[in-house]
Amino acid sequence: MTVSRSIALVDDDRNILTSVSLTLEAEGFEVTTYNDGAEALRGLLADPVDLAVLDIKMPRMDGMELLQKLRERTAMPVIFLTSKDDEVDELMGLRLGADDYIKKPFSQRLLIERIRALLRRLELRSGASGPDLSKSALVRGDLTLDPDRHLCAWKGKPVDLTVTEFLILQALAQRPGHVKSRDQLIDAAYGENIYVDDRTIDSHIKRLRKKFRDVDRTFSEIETLYGVGYRYKDPTPLRSGPDGDGNAPL
């Protein structure tokens, strides 16, 4: 039996709330609507949902402030609805922890595809309970990733990641020392049929680094290769060469 997923729509445009909620309900989702950020904050903290779609520009409490307050309590996936050319809003939203954004005016079919992609990744959070790591857990030096439980730890300390951040880090850590282009990371985190701007990946990487440095100020495992992409530092130490400094002779 398929479990119905719950979606919250937050927008001060009642026409968008009505049309999008009808479309989502026709696709089998349970939908709750809010027409301002303050009302949404109260509702979402009292009755959490699987995913929220937030408009950025709203009265009383805009989408940015709403997301910031939600991120203090929850890592639920969030999609931002943003003005057509407002790149600042997009980047700020991603830095605050949004998982994706869609520019207005938007195709409802595209929104549904983005929602389904995020909810598929949400399934990584589920898994058997218990303290032991799952068989699919990935350990790279001080990093531990357990996709079955959506758990991330650095030096034994938990690091709370969104689904998108987790998948980007997993793609990098699976092959340490190997460079991943932005396009490869987009495919890993969003799927091959979803278009996302390169700067979206850059914003996620910045947020990943910040979260790890909040746990360990010396964290430097995610490396940037300008014009190429990113890589996860290989934790395997270099073999000592004949000169004893880890370098083979020329």
Per-residue pLDDT of the chain (250 residues; tens, 9 = 90+): 456 799 999 999 999 999 999 999 999 999 999 999 999 999 999 999 999 999 988 888 888 889 889 888 887 888 988 875 555 555 666 666 778 878 777 888 888 888 887 887 666 555 434 445 666 789 998 999 988 777 899 999 999 887 788 889 999 999 999 999 998 998 888 766 666 667 778 888 988 999 999 999 999 999 999 989 999 998 764 443 444 444 433 3
pLDDT of residue 220: 94
Q: Are 46 and 39 in contact (CB under 8 A)?
A: no
Q: Output the CA–CA distances (angstroms, integers) from residue 152 to 27, 96, 117, 136, 247, in the order listed.
A: 32, 19, 21, 13, 33
CA 204 to CA 136: how far, in whole Å? 24
Q: Which amino acid is at 159?
A: V
Q: Do 39 and 85 form a contact (C-beta atoms < 8 A)?
A: no
- CATH 3.40.50.2300 domain range(s) in the chain: 6-125
On whether the CB atoms of residues 120 and 114 are closer than 8 A, the answer is no
Q: What's the pTM?
A: 0.64
Report pLDDT for 90: 59
Q: Which amino acid is at 195?
A: Y
Please tell me the chain's helix, strand, coil percentages from 3-state DSSP, rounded to the nearest 5: 40, 20, 40
Q: Specify the domain boundaries for CATH 1.10.10.10 within the chain.
A: 138-232
Instruction: Tell the CATH topology of 138-232.
Output: Arc Repressor Mutant, subunit A (1.10.10)
Q: Which residue has the tokens 């949400």?
A: 122
* CA distance linking residue 110 with residue 193, whole number of Å: 10
Superfamily of structural domain 6-125: Response regulator (3.40.50.2300)
